[in-house]
Structure 1
Amino acid sequence: MSYTINRVIQGAGFEEIDERTRRALADKGFGVLTEIDVKATMKKKLDKDMDAYRILGACNPTMAWQAIGVEPRVGAMLPCNVILREIPEGIEVSAIDPLSSMSAIDNDQLKQVAGQVRDMLAEVVEAI
């Protein structure tokens, strides 16, 4: 079982894919709460060079409300991370699969919510 939902996009630049990803997230009710420029961080902290790599911490407030309502400590696993990374074939977009990440929690109601979020994130990745 994969723990991410993936797509490689060719023929577009990193910043364009970032904009398209944010737009697709917003269209499904997700906001980006956090952003980490991993490339810049590795350069600054370790003086290491790498290809473009960005982590977007996305949250759909309605779905987060439902998840916290059925499992109050699930906030430790939020938000849903989406990564953008430059690879030789293009730009890879990977979104966390909430069903996979929440499988350690024994709560059937939470798994139903996670399944809905997974479907939404799969639609986001497809729409980019």
Structure 2
Amino acid sequence: MSYFHARTIPGEFDAVLERTRAALQKHGFGVLTEIDVQGTLKTKIGQDFRPYHILGACNPIMAHEALKLEPHVGAMLPCNVVLQQTDGGVEVFAIDPAASMRAIDNPALLEHAGKVGEHLRAAVDEI
């Protein structure tokens, strides 16, 4: 079982990053956090790294429902969507929320996480 959904998209990193933000927004997700791993590693430890961004995506309606189902689920939010430069283009991959929510014994939350995952997969597939 995979814990993420991915696809590789030809194109420039920044252009794919913008397309990713637009696809997430279309599916009701905002980007709450953004980590430029390449820039952080260069600044903090002087190491070069490929372009790599982690977007903390959140659909507020779905997050609210998850929090009503499980008050401690915030430890697993937001949903990460990652972009990394590869030889073949830009790989975009998103967490499968159901995979991480299996750690919580709450069938209703697991069902809800499956719905969130469908929206994330659709966003990734539309980039």
TM-score w.r.t. length of structure 1: 0.98
Inter-partner Cα distance in structure 2 for 1:45 and 1:101: 29
Q: Secondary structure at the match of 1:72?
A: coil
Q: Distance in 2 between matches of 1:9 and 1:27?
A: 18
Q: Is 2:107 the partner of 1:111? A: no
How far did 1:89 drift? Answer: 1.1
Q: CA RMSD in A?
A: 0.5
How far is 1:17 from its partner? 0.4
Alignment length (residue pairs): 127
Q: Which contiguous aligned blocks of 4+ residues in structure 1 show a shift greater than 6 angstroms?
A: none
For the residue of structure 1 that corresponds to 2:16, the secondary structure is helix
Shift of 1:41: 0.3
Identity of aligned residues (%): 54
Structure 1, residues 15-69: CA drift from partner, whole Å, max 9, x if none? 1000000000000000000000000000011110011000000000000011000
Alignment of 1:63-74 (within 5 A): 63-74=62-73
Q: Matches of 1:115 and 1:24 in 2, distance apart?
A: 19
Aligned to 1:33: 32
The letter of the residue matching 1:111 is: L
Give the 5 Å matches for 1:51-66. Answer: 51-66=50-65
Could you list the runs of 5+ residues in structure 1 that have no partner in the other structure? Answer: none
